[in-house]
Amino acid sequence: MDKIVIYGGKKLKGEVVISGSKNSTLPIMFAALLTDEPVTITNVPSLIDVDTTIAFLNFVGKKTVKEGSIVKIYSSCKYKHVAPYDLVRKMRASILVMGPLLARLSKVDVPLPGGCAIGARPVDIHLDAFKKLGVEILVESGYLKTFVKNELKGTTINFKFPSVGATENVLLATVLIKGKTTIVNAACEPEVEDLASVLNKMGAKVTGAGTNRIVIEGVDTLHGFSHEVIPDRIEAATYIIAAAITKGEVVLKKVISHHLKAVSDKLKKSGLCIKEREDTIFVKWVGNLKSQNISTGVYPGFPTDVQAQWMVLMCLLEGKSRVKEEVFENRFLHVAELKRLGANISMDGKFVNIEGVKKFSGAPVMISDLRAGAALVLAGLVADGKTTISRVYHLDRGYDMFESKLKKLGADIKRIHSL
């Protein structure tokens, strides 16, 4: 398997263009199952999860082609209702096939999904919502076998937790069914808004996306669309923190600054110079930063997908700080690896207690999940000597040209390919 080798100590300086959002791209690609007309999606990042989604769509009956950052999707043949285990096990977002295929075929068999090892991440919120819409669900041999006996009908769905995936799945399922569906306690993330924008371009009637109450009025048919994916706010936050960690100066291009407010506000409070201008963010280290406590939460709270990167920065600041993880119950797998580099941190249930150290020392480390991988790369950028990172395929699921972008900013980083 490939490895990444970093020699730390270089300040990051220069410009970086932020790629399209992975977490927007995938549900938008699944939305193409709702129409037989051609679809064009631009600003698509080059990621393993995108490739997996393309393979998935092609398997169930689409013809999907990616050229650079453009994905084109066409109808090819009659849809299949059984999703392949070999693809589903690789990517948790594959559960989003349930919504559109239930809307189009009234049945779908999906293996329980895979993805990063950051907790149970149960699909019960999805399933409870589908049951309210009139879906029958059986679990057999590791498959979720779902079907509609009569017909799907709009209703009110009150989520016990504002799950992004469940909100998107219900959107995908209900735009083509009779009546009105109301999602209460819906996820408010920008990626949900982006999907709703696409669905409305297709002829759907979705209102309230971006708030905790979304209303869907069912329509009979949907047509094709062209859409540019929003910038990846998690990638952007990662580069902002990378600039802070390395005491650098970085300009981020093609961003939506208000999507990053929770992270930017905390970094500004710590003393980092951040200036936002339309689709550009200027980041500059101007002096020693002060440690800050954070608690992760659903949007617009501090994103759980930035928790690991944030932790690296806090480990290198003077004083004590605390991180509380409120979204996933097992998202501290990177703690042990950061300790290998010299971090002084301890876990206490949902909390990680941090006491700053003056430096990290390079060491071999291993990635457990996507964002933990980003954190280890950031740690390697400032560690004395050589840091070797293994299991880097996790990074390829969510960061477009990560090493190339960092190298352009001045990092001493390279990938070692192995057979």
pTM over 0.85: yes
Active-site residue, 273 included: no
Contact criterion met (CB below 8 Å) for 27 and 34: no
pLDDT at 418: 77
Alpha helices (H) in 279-328, listed in sequence order: 307-315
| Beta strand spans in 149-221 (E) | 156-158, 180-184, 205-207, 213-217
CA distance 195 to 190: 9
The DSSP bridge partners found for residue 140 are 143
pLDDT at 117: 44
pLDDT at 116: 44
pLDDT at 49: 92
The stretches in the chain having pLDDT less than 50 are 115-120
What is the set of domains in the chain, with CATH numbers?
3-19+231-416 (3.65.10.10), 22-228 (3.65.10.10)
Under DSSP, is residue 267 helix (H, G, I), strand (E, B) or coil? helix
For residue 43, give the nearest of 299, 188, 187, 256 by alpha carbon.
Answer: 256
The H or E element containing residue 164 is: helix 164-174
Find the catalytic residue in 77, 116, 273, 315: 116
For residue 44, give the nearest of 60, 15, 65 by alpha carbon.
Answer: 65
Tokens, residue 117: 């090892």
For residue 390, give the nearest of 377, 401, 402, 399 by alpha carbon.
Answer: 377
